[in-house]
Structure 1
């Protein structure tokens, strides 16, 4: 079901407020052939603890600054997982449409309570051109 970008952004805010996290897939093989997704790169199972808007609210930034330390060094310094520095950015102005996916049982390695596909405008400005599709799983 297609939803407004503003409803997608509200869902992100609500999910952050509930302490949820995200799993992301870029150009998933699970998408229908008519999605016109790019097929040259597919990235799966990226995990983030939060999403925020940066650069005058024009970029969504998925990040892991909320990760907790996993251990302490001998001198007592907190040690964090390697993905603490991972980020992914989405230019809000380049979102063409947003789909709230209804059937998504097997899309991710970990369970999601909600899945949203974000369809970006094609890079070549052709309406029928291939585009990036970001699949976002809302985890608890």
Structure 2
């Protein structure tokens, strides 16, 4: 009768041992995965995502003269780096087609706030003015 009890306890001990080993390996792999993801996100945030330009158009004014529209736009940078704007696009508000692209040979640079004047010639509102920064950020507004 003693040998019967020994065989039963041995099988239970083996099953519990396999269960404990699989749980320990699973927790170890999960910890390694979490550390890897955390390190990757930290390097992204301190690298390409660390210092960046993010801006918005906080207001605009339109001055219409004979066949010429001048739009003065107030830009505010809430990012952590200086914004460098290379070009401006004027986009049709109804179709989404680009009407005109204005490249700047001398880029607009600003840290917090600036006013930019865009001359759109005879293009009548409504249209969208979109600014493109050096680091890939774009911001704009609908001019009505």
Q: Shorter-chain-normalised TM-score: which range? A: under 0.3
By percentage of residues, which structure has more strand?
Answer: 2
Larger radius of gyration: 2
By percentage of residues, which structure has more helix?
Answer: 2
* TM-score, length of structure 1 as denominator length: 0.25
* TM-score, length of structure 2 as denominator length: 0.25
Larger RCO of the pair (alpha carbons < 8 Å, separation 6+): 1
